[in-house]
Amino acid sequence: MPSRSLRTGRSLGLAPVAWIAVILYGMFLLYPLVQSLFLSFTDKNPLQAGSAFVGLANYRELLSDDRLLSSLLFTMIVVVAVTVVANTVGLLLAIVLNRSSANYRVMRTLIFIPQVLSGVIVGFIWRSILTQNGLLNSALAQVGLIDEPVAWLGDSQLAVLSVCTVVSWITIAFATVVYTASLQSVPQELYEAARMDGAGVLGRFRHVTLPMIAPGTTISVVLCLITTLKLYDVVAVLTGGGPAESTQSTAFYLISVAFTDNRFGYASSIAMFLLALTAVVSYGVTTLLRRRETNL
Amino acid sequence: MSAPTTRPVRTGRPTGSAASAGTAPSTGPGHSAPRARSRLRGRSHLIGAWLITLAFILPVYVAFVSAFKKQDQIVSNPAAPPIPFTFDNIVNALSRPDNLVQAGLLNSIMVTTATLVILVPLSSMLAFYISERSPRLRGALLAVFALGLMVPPQVVLLPIVTLLRSIGLANSYAGLILSNVGGGYLSFAVFVYVGFLRTIPREVVEAARMDGAGDLRLWWRIVFPVVRPATATVAIFLGLWVWNDFLNPQFILGPLQGQTITTGIYVSLGAYSTDYSQLFGIMFLAAVIPVVGYLVSQREFIHGLMSGASK
Structural element, H or E, at residue B53: helix B32-66
Does residue A260 register a pLDDT over 50? yes
- State the Cα–Cα distance between residues A25 and A21, nearest whole angstrom: 6
Comparing CB atoms, the residue among A35, A128, A201 nearest residue B21 is: A201
**Structure confidence by residue, pLDDT tens digits, A243-253:** 988 999 999 99
- What's the pLDDT at B22? 40
User: Where does the pLDDT of residue B308 fall: very low under 50, low under 70, confident under 90, or very high at 90 and above?
Assistant: low
The 10s digit of each residue's pLDDT in A142-161 is: 888 888 888 899 899 999 99
A251 and B79: CB-CB below 8 Å?
no
Top CATH class, B99-268: mainly alpha
Confidence check: pLDDT of A226 > 60: yes
Q: Does any domain span residue A226?
A: yes
pLDDT of the residue at B271: 53
Q: What is the CATH number of the domain that holds A167?
A: 1.10.3720.10
Residue B90 pLDDT greater than 60, yes or no: yes
Residues 256 to 275 of A: which have CB under 8 A from any B CB?
258-259, 264, 267-268, 271-272, 274-275
List all residues 6 or more positions away from B188 whose beta carbon is below 8 Å from its beta carbon.
B148, B149, B234, B237, B238
Which of A232-236, B1-5, B279-283, B307-311 is predicted with the least confidence, judged by mean pLDDT? B1-5
CB pairs under 8 A between A and B: 325
Alpha-carbon distance of A96 to B52, in angstroms, equals: 9
The residue type found at B1 is M
Q: Are A32 and B46 a contacting pair at CB < 8 A?
A: no
User: Considering CB atoms only, which of A135, A183, A254 is closest to B19?
Assistant: A183
Residues of chain B positioned with their CB less than 8 A from the CB of A21: 122-123, 125-126, 186
For residue A148, which phi and psi values (nearest 5 degrees)? -130, 155
What is the radius of gyration, based on Cα positions, of chain A?
A: 24
Would you call B166 an interface residue with chain A, using a CB distance cutoff of 8 Å?
A: no
Helical pair B261-268 and B276-296, crossing angle rounded to 10 deg:
160
pLDDT the model gives residue B257 = 61
The answer to whether B309 touches A176, Cβ cutoff 8 Å, is no
pLDDT in tens, B115-157: 999 999 999 999 998 988 888 999 999 999 988 888 889 889 9
Q: Has residue B113 got a pLDDT over 90?
A: yes
For chain A, give the percent of residues with pLDDT over 70: 96
Partners of residue B9 in chain A, C-beta under 8 Å: 192
- For residues A17-33, give the mean pLDDT: 92
Q: What percent of chain B has pLDDT over 90?
A: 32
A170 is in which domain, residue-wise? 67-295
Distance from CA of B158 to the nearest CA of A (A): 7
Closest listed residue to residue B187, CA positions, set B216, B153, B213: B153
Residue A115's pLDDT is 92
3-state secondary structure of B211: coil
Q: What are phi and psi of B176, to 5 degrees?
A: -65, -45
Task: State the pLDDT at residue A9.
Answer: 45
By the 8 A CB rule, do B21 and A204 touch?
yes
CB B151 within 8 A of CB A275: yes
Instruction: Flag whether residue A251 sits within 8 Å of chain B, measured between CB atoms.
Output: yes
Report the number of distinct structural domains present in chain A: 1
- Tell whether the model's pLDDT for residue A287 goes beyond 60: yes
Range of lowest pLDDT (A15-19, A25-29, B108-112, B204-208): B204-208
**What is the mean pLDDT of the segment spanning A80-99?**
94
The answer to whether residue A6 is domain-embedded is: no
Quick one: DSSP state of residue B267? H
Domain layout of chain B by residue ranges? 99-268
Contacts of B160 in chain A (CB under 8 A): 28, 32
